[in-house]
Amino acid sequence: MLTADEKQLVLHAWDKVQGHQEDFGAEALERMFTTYPSTKTYFPHFDLHHDSEQVRHHGKKVVTALGNAVHHMDTLSKTLSDLSDLHAYNLRVDPVNFKLLSHCFQVVLAVHLRDEYTPQLHVAFDKFMEAVCNVLTEKYR
């Protein structure tokens, strides 16, 4: 679980994401599709080329959902329940993909935040993303 200080680090970093949700989300998805090509199988109907409108739109949805989670860290299960249901029961996404996207999103943060993405922020954000991944996969059990 995140400490109070770690929660503040995540919240402060999220302020830097505001206004860039579509860009950061698309970049994370493109990075995931390139680095882990098997993840493309869940998007057969998408144009997966660089800067595709579909990838940008979905990236924004992903990062908007993460922002909702950031602002409700103490109630993640409730906050992400609908997304957990959707991915487990309807989309049947392999749970490992959440961790892959988490890693890619953290790389995007590190690239854009540069020196502000300190080791302490990395640890805090990693813990936060792990908690998000755990909630998104709890319906699979």
Burial class (CB in 10 A: 0-12, 13-18, 19+), 94: middle
| pTM of the full structure | 0.93
Query: pLDDT of the chain along its 141 residues, tens only?
Result: 899 999 999 999 999 999 999 999 999 999 999 999 999 999 999 999 999 999 999 999 999 999 999 999 999 999 999 999 888 888 888 889 999 999 999 999 999 999 999 999 999 999 999 999 999 998 886
* Separation of alpha carbons 107 and 110, rounded Å: 5
> Which domains does the chain possess?
4-140 (1.10.490.10)
Q: How high is the pLDDT of residue 141?
A: 65
Question: What is the reported pLDDT for 113?
Answer: 97
Residue 97 confidence (pLDDT):
93
**pLDDT at residue number 90:** 86
